[in-house]
Amino acid sequence: MQKIRIVGLQEQKASIIAELHRLGVIDIRKSSLEIEDDKPAESLPGISELVVRYNSALSILAKYRKREERKKHRAIERQPRLSALLKKTAGFKPVSDVMALDERKTAIEADVARIDSETRIISLFLGSGIDFSRLRSGALGFSAYILGEKAYRKAHRHLSSLRHESEVIENRVKTGRVVFVAYEKENGAAVEEFSHLTGVRELDISSERFDSTPERVIAELAKMRKDDVRELGNVMVRLGEYASRDYDRIASLLEMLSVESERASVSLSFKRTESSFVVEGWVEKKKLHEVYAKLSQLTDGHFAVEEIADGELAPTSISRPKFFKPFDNLIEFFSLPRSDELDPTWIFIVSFPIFYGLMVSDVGYGIASFILAWLIARKSDPDGLMYNVAKVWQICSVSIIVFGFLSNQYFGFALNQYFIPWFQGFSWLSDTPLVLAVTVLFGIAQVIVGLLFGFVNSREHGHGKLAVAKLFSILAIITGTIAVSGALFGLFNGTVTEIAAGIGIASVVATMALSGIEATEVVSLISHPLSYARIMGFGLASVILALLIDRTFAPSLAAGVLPFLLTSVIFILLHFVNMILGIFEGLVQGARLNFVEFFSKFYTGGGVKFKPFFYRRRYTKEA
């Protein structure tokens, strides 16, 4: 990665910006030169306004697209000049029509909601004999309240007082009592006092639609609602037609506007003089010649490129197959690796599914987990965290199936013998010591890899003593493992065990002497590898729970149909709960083993992602 500074003429700025955008190889950064800041293009406000408008129209139409239409794209068109694009997009009638239809839809929905509210209110007066057309008077006031039965009993004294000075009509409804009061406005104090009682809620009877008896008003409101619903249906049909016919066209115009918006605003990061402009940014070294060649051809050599070495840390560029991108997003969510340290993502891609699969380890759970993850991914935003978690989860579900097959677990049942008689797999119950040994060896291997990464990073950063201390830590782990295996399990003879123990102790002392930082990690040389034993613990717990569920609630028709149905429901629910517990623990503990035990041995993080000035087109291409 190389930081460069490009100096060009002001009259060529637009064409150079377009070429850099087309190439998509430079991550533009604000220059530190002590000269005037550049300004965005004058066209930016107009373009931004159109982008917002087209985005709104596209969001509206997205709701009305049919599923099969979402997978189709119309013919890709070329991007015209900016002036022609602005003229075309400013007067594009389908966008104006869509916005107007959506406004009308919003208005109709609001009117339907008002009609429903007014219908609920007016229905409370059915059978009361009130004619609302007569409630228009300069001297009289009219109010209505609804009270629950409890509040009505408490308000009895106030109602008696109201009756002396006002006309009071009561109507019993399901939720309590409706009280209608007609009073002289100059004597409204009692009414005001009544309205503030606890449990008394005033009803809004001011609607102009309340112009007759409740029965007639309800009939008229029902007719209005029917007309609104009919019009709403017509509006939605028209929006569906626009979605089917014009969605891709609007999307292509929005894409063109978005491209022009980026180009118009990027000069905010430039510097300028009266006749020239300056742009700085990071470019991958292998693509520098492409930048030189394209700009030279575009400007007839009227530009300058300078390679800068200012000590600034380069951004982190990640190039990985699309299938593994969700893992990159998870690492980025934790902390992006710096460009001057080793990228641990490939180790994470391999180890995380293995740890996860071992901790759940059941073919049935794996298949159910895969389906659940697939459904979540399908409903999630492809750019969101949940989508990436779900895609990683799908990959890990395959690992669950593999380890479930290897351990002969199918919702707790052993079934391999029915279709592969010669392969029974390992047993979590009888082979527990073996599983424990394997998981601890996993831990030792990964911690050693982490320390090797730490050695490389420390050496590259010029921390020689820390780098050597990392090597002694590796030696301490290896010899310590040999010593413990020999002393406790007799895997090595006495001489080898004693020599390994001596070298291990000497390595720990050397580690502490070389680096205070690494000295603080000495205890973790023992605790971190042992932490991987949790893989065996959670895996064994999941298997034992599945076996208990099977032995206690396995359905059988021999007990009768009703007990069979009841135990089937309990059986499914308990296995579902066990699966969810396993999935949760697998995700959390698998991530913990990587981020805490592994990453802590070498990882700094805090990198800045390489973001080239580029727009990935779907509907259009350059002119």
For 412-461, how does the pLDDT look when each residue is reduced to its tens digit (9 = 90+)?
A: 888 888 888 888 888 888 888 888 888 888 889 999 999 999 999 989 88
- pLDDT of 423 reads 82
190-227: per-residue pLDDT in tens?
A: 888 888 888 889 999 888 899 899 999 999 999 999 99
Of the candidates 480, 459, 479, 481, the residue with the CA atom closest to the CA atom of residue 468:
459
The DSSP element (H or E) to which 57 belongs, if any, is helix 44-62
Per-chain mean pLDDT for the chain: 88
575: which DSSP letter?
H
Read off the tokens for 25: 């190889």
Q: Which residues contact 217 (CB under 8 A, 6 or more apart)?
A: 122, 132, 209, 210, 211
Which residue intervals of the chain bear CATH 3.30.70.1150?
Answer: 118-220
518 burial type by CB count under 10 A (0-12 exposed, 13-18 middle, 19+ buried): buried
Q: Which residues contact 493 (CB under 8 A, 6 or more apart)?
A: 486
- Residue 215 identity (one-letter amino acid): E
| Residue 174 · residue 148 · CB < 8 Å | no
Q: Please provide the distance, in angstroms rounded to a whole number, between the alpha carbons at the two ends of the chain.
A: 30
pTM of this structure: 0.74
347-382: per-residue pLDDT in tens?
A: 999 999 999 999 999 999 999 999 999 999 888 887
Q: How many whole angstroms separate alpha carbon 345 and alpha carbon 327?
A: 7
- pLDDT of 70 reads 59
Read off the tokens for 233: 């249906």
Per DSSP, helices labelled H in 335-463 are: 345-360, 363-379, 385-406, 416-419, 432-460
CA dihedral 147, 148, 152, 154 (to 10 degrees): -120
Q: How far, rounded to the nearest angstrom, does the alpha carbon of residue 292 sit from its chain's CA centroid?
A: 39
- pLDDT of 162 reads 81
Q: How many whole angstroms separate alpha carbon 417 and alpha carbon 53?
A: 64
Residue 164 confidence class, pLDDT cut points 50, 70, 90: confident
Q: How far, rounded to the nearest angstrom, does the alpha carbon of residue 606 sit from its chain's CA centroid?
A: 21
473-483: per-residue pLDDT in tens?
A: 889 889 988 88
Q: How many whole angstroms separate alpha carbon 405 and alpha carbon 415?
A: 9
CA angle, residues 547, 549, 551, in degrees to nearest 5: 70
| Residue 289 · residue 34 · CB < 8 Å | no
Pairing label, strands 26-29, 620-621: unpaired
Q: Which residues contact 86 (CB under 8 A, 6 or more apart)?
A: 43, 46, 47, 50
118-220, CATH topology level: Alpha-Beta Plaits (3.30.70)
Of the candidates 477, 484, 479, the residue with the CA atom closest to the CA atom of residue 451:
477
